[in-house]
Structure 1
Amino acid sequence: MTQRTGTAVTFRRVAAIATAVLAATALSAGCGTGGSTGSDPAPSPSADPKAALLAAVPDDKDPAFRFSTLDGADKFVGVVDPAAHAMELGMSQKNDDPEFTMDMTFRVIDEDLWMRVKLTGISGLHDMLKLPKRWMALDRTKLDDGSEAPVYQNADPANTGAIIRTADTVEDKGNGTYTGLADLTDNVDVKSAFDGVDVAALGEAAKKVPFTAVVGPDGNLSSLTLEIPAAGKQKAMKLVTRYYDFGKAPKLTAPAGDQVQKAPASAYELLNG
């Protein structure tokens, strides 16, 4: 579940395309394998649990923090730096035949976009694909669908605030734990946050999806877990977002010097499929 920036959708699509391209290239070349846990007391029960929970959702006044999302089988990790209007998003994907691992990371500062690809398991794969190991500055106009490329939208990359707002009521269970029922059909922001879920197949069940949220001792939302029921060919699953390391995560800046170069044509070929 991610904010409506195209981030996870694009990332998942690019990762799938990249892995297929890399696997085909490696085979044709005949290569071998080569949250805060401070000591502050837990939050006290609130007279307005929904408002209290929404107040814990990250906003642009928060310091840099880390996040992770588990969306079915896909796990994304990253950093949000609200002061810089910046976000970093990474994913690791393994290929079995031939055997190699691709770590792909996007960094976004406002509209500026960089990508870094790390390939391990097969010697010489970077050179074979003409992909540098440094950050690559991307030109959005050279992307087939630049509107899907990641941009910084807000400090809540998993749209937790939009999801919580769909609940008619939120119950405070004490010790910083809240529960409620989310309506995944409520609005376009919520619907688009679940690209890995067939919301239509859920039918009426999509309007009452149980969630559990935890607010840490520091007053920040530390996790939101949705229990997606089985529907059709879709198995039951948990969608989990974690926000942590508030004030401890690194601030994000534009890659500079020998850390970065303009993206070569091979990078756009990879992204555009």
Structure 2
Amino acid sequence: MTQRIGTAATLRRVASLATVVLAATVLSAGCATATRDEAGSAPAPSPSADPKAALLAAVPDDEDPAFRFSTAEGGEKFNGVVDPAARGVELSVSQKNKDPKFTMAMTFRIIDEALWVRVKLTGIPGLHDRLKLPKRWMTMDRAKLSDASEVPAYEGADPANMAAIIQTAGTVEDRGNGTYGGFVDLTANADVRDNFSSVDVDALGEAAKKVPFTAVVGPDGNLTSLTLEIPAAGKQKAMKLVARYYDFGKAPRISAPTGADVQKAPASAYEMLNG
């Protein structure tokens, strides 16, 4: 059930790069800145004879309906929707720039290899027009991207890579009421190590091999959250990394933008993503 690691880290890299590119464009153009789930009523899952296998079985797969997800890594957050039946995913992230002061919200929509991007800029009046970036969905040609591997793609029904992380646990404890716990090894392989952009795994030393985690499986049998308790190390403060999957069967299906809501991406969009 594991997949290629990187959705979260890749999205953050792309959004950060795009924000830097836009900020430089704004400055060079001399633009002035503006001054202005509830728990279900069904019974909790019964304790399992093999807690690790039970927990891995609860991770979403291609048979699951559309659902929402979110992750929080330190101060960085992103969210989205996964639709396994459509091989589709929508990923959203927001970045703030201090000088000049503006906020960029970027959303990627992917169905198989098809890619659309929508950008919303706030904080500076008329910024979309000045940067020649439309407010509608933009159809992107991956062949025109300097490094298409850096752009998010549909990688399966586990965008936060929970299965890959759980796999590194030597043992998993069933604590009852759908709650599981144990320790995971962030040094187990390069893929897991590279999944966290705000964690210095090397600085954690031996502690990186035994990071406490708590996972919760909902009454419907779906994994709803995974929390890692990252200890303090050097200049790095202790933090919680939290991934959530929710609204199974309630989230909107992923479909291609149509009509007046979509256009071909202009050159400015490729300049933004290519840096």
TM-score range, shorter-chain basis? over 0.9
2-structure distance, mates of 1:195, 1:120:
26
> Is the 1:102–1:119 Cα contact (8 Å) retained in structure 2?
yes
How far the C-alpha of 1:34 sits from its partner, in A, is 5.7
Aligned residue pair count: 272
What is residue 84 of structure 2 aligned with on the other side? 82
Aligned ranges 1:171-190 → 2 under 5 Å: 171-190=173-192
2:13 equivalent to 1:13: yes
Q: Which moved more, 1:65-74 or 1:254-263?
A: 254-263
Q: Which residue of 2 aligns with 1:107?
A: 109
Q: How far apart are residue 232 of structure 1 and its match?
A: 2.4
Query: 2:7, 2:160 within 8 Å by CA — same for their partners in 1?
Result: no
Structure 1 residues 44-98: Cα deviation after superposition (integer angstroms, max 9, x where no partner): 2111111111111111100000000001211010000000111111012223444
CA shift digits 1:193-250 (9 cap, x unpaired): 2232221222211111100001111111110000111222222111100000000000
Cα gap change, 1:53 to 1:6, in 2 (>3 Å):
closer
Counterparts of 1:97 and 1:174, CA distance in 2: 50
Residues 68 and 240 of structure 1: is their aligned pair in 2 closer, same or farther, counting only changes over 3 Å? Answer: same
Deviates more, 1:184-193 or 1:99-108: 184-193
What is the CA–CA distance in structure 2 between the aligned matches of 1:99 and 1:14, rounded to whole Å? 19
Matched residue, 1:121 = 123
Q: Which residue of 2 aligns with 1:269?
A: 271
Asked whether the 8 Å contact 1:64–1:249 carries over to 2, the reply is yes
Distance 1:215 1:59, change over 3 A: same
Q: Give 5+ residue unaligned stretches, structure 1.
A: none
Gaps of 5+ in 2: none
TM-score normalised by the chain length of structure 2: 0.93
Change (3 A) 1:195 1:29: closer
Using the alignment, how far apart are the partners of 1:9 and 1:79 within structure 2? 17
Q: What is the TM-score normalised by the length of structure 1?
A: 0.93
The letter for the 1-side match of 2:246 is Y
The root-mean-square deviation of aligned C-alpha atoms, in Å, is: 1.8
Which range moved further: 138-147 or 15-24? 15-24
8 Å CA contact 2:33, 2:123 repeated in 1: no
Q: Which runs of 4+ in 1 moved over 6 A?
A: none
Pairs within 5 Å for 1:160-239: 160-239=162-241
Which residue in the other structure is 2:62 paired with? 60
Whether 1:243 aligns to 2:222 is no
Shift of 1:130: 0.3
Q: 1:16, CA displacement in angstroms?
A: 2.2
Tell me, in whole angstroms, the C-alpha distance in 2 between the residues paired with 1:112 and 1:5. Answer: 20
Distance 1:3 1:100, change over 3 A: farther
Match status 1:253 vs 2:252: no
